[in-house]
Structure 1
Amino acid sequence: MNVTKALNIMKEQGFKYTAKREELLQLFSDEKRYLTAKEVLQSLQKNYPGMSVDTVYRNLAIFEEMDILEMTELEGEMHFRFSCSTTAHHHHLICLECGKTREIETCPMDWLNENVDGGFEVTGHKFEIYGLCAECKRAKQREAAPA
């Protein structure tokens, strides 16, 4: 996903263009990681000091409904990022420290679908793996190292 494609999706679905919405989308394009509504609000309030958290949540929800953004829950809080541009089935590794993600093509559902009996039909799933990216892991190791 990119800003131009997201704005076109908005237009096709009858939502009006605003500079605030474009800036919100540009933030996700620039960050390339999961962001909380609080992080989005803090960033946008620089140019729009009167913006409310309700406005941010409302737009994040709209963008998620339009498949512009993906949402995950980390430690009880919703986090959002641009939807992946690939249409191939995949899952994500998510760094709990910085929010960066990495796509993985392996799907544990392949094994499950082959080994579940009883006629259960899986109609959807979401699989995410949480941990630390190499950069955040090194930073934590440096912090923990004796001086």
Structure 2
Amino acid sequence: MSAEDVLRRLKREGHKLTAGRKAIIEMFVRNPDERFSAKDVYDGMVAEHPHMSLDTVYRTLSLLEEHQVIEETQPSEGVAKYQLACVQSHHHHLICIACGKVSVLQSCPLSSCEMDLGGFLPVRHRFDVYGYCPACASV
């Protein structure tokens, strides 16, 4: 996914294409495996965009998450982190709480659960497993 693809999609959906939004999108596209907090994004933007507020960053992150451009993960320290959405098929994540490494879990735990949802029709879901990667677990 390129920054231009994302910007075209947002424009088609009626959203403004501000310089700040473009810069935030480019930050995620340039660093597809990195996870950023809202403060990380703000700190990365303030030098080039000194008038950008933290509120603007939060609104942009919300918009990008709503359009499935980025995904949120909640590390153990309670601070939401965002990364470029995976474009792979349906999958979930294993997240190391020590080093932050994110691995893909291809099987879906929901599909293997024998549960009665009482007529509830799931549209989407998330399943992240937090723990220690092999390198951090052996320390």
- Tell me the TM-score normalised to structure 1 length: 0.77
How far is the alpha carbon of 1:40 from its aligned partner?
A: 0.3
Q: Which residue of 2 aligns with 1:35?
A: 36
Matched positions, count: 136
Distance 1:11 1:134 in 2: 43
How far is the alpha carbon of 1:60 from its aligned partner?
A: 0.6
Contact 2:71 2:84 in 1 (8 A): yes
How far is the alpha carbon of 1:27 from its aligned partner?
A: 1.1
Q: Which residue of 2 aligns with 1:63?
A: 64
How far is the alpha carbon of 1:107 from its aligned partner?
A: 1.4
Contact 2:92 2:128 in 1 (8 A): yes
Q: Which residue of 1 aligns with 2:131?
A: 131
Letter in structure 1 aligned against 2:23: E
Distance 1:39 1:118 in 2: 39
Distance 2:128 2:94 in 1: 6
Q: Which residue of 1 aligns with 2:84?
A: 82
- Aligned CA-pair RMSD: 2.4
Distance 1:118 1:12 in 2: 36
Instruction: Return 5+ residue gaps in structure 2 as ranges.
Output: none
- Tell me the TM-score normalised to structure 2 length: 0.81
Greater helix proportion:
1
Contact 2:70 2:84 in 1 (8 A): yes
Instruction: Return 5+ residue gaps in structure 1 as ranges.
Output: 142-147
Q: Aligned pair in 2 of structure 1 residues 24, 108: CA closer, same or farther (>3 Å)? A: same
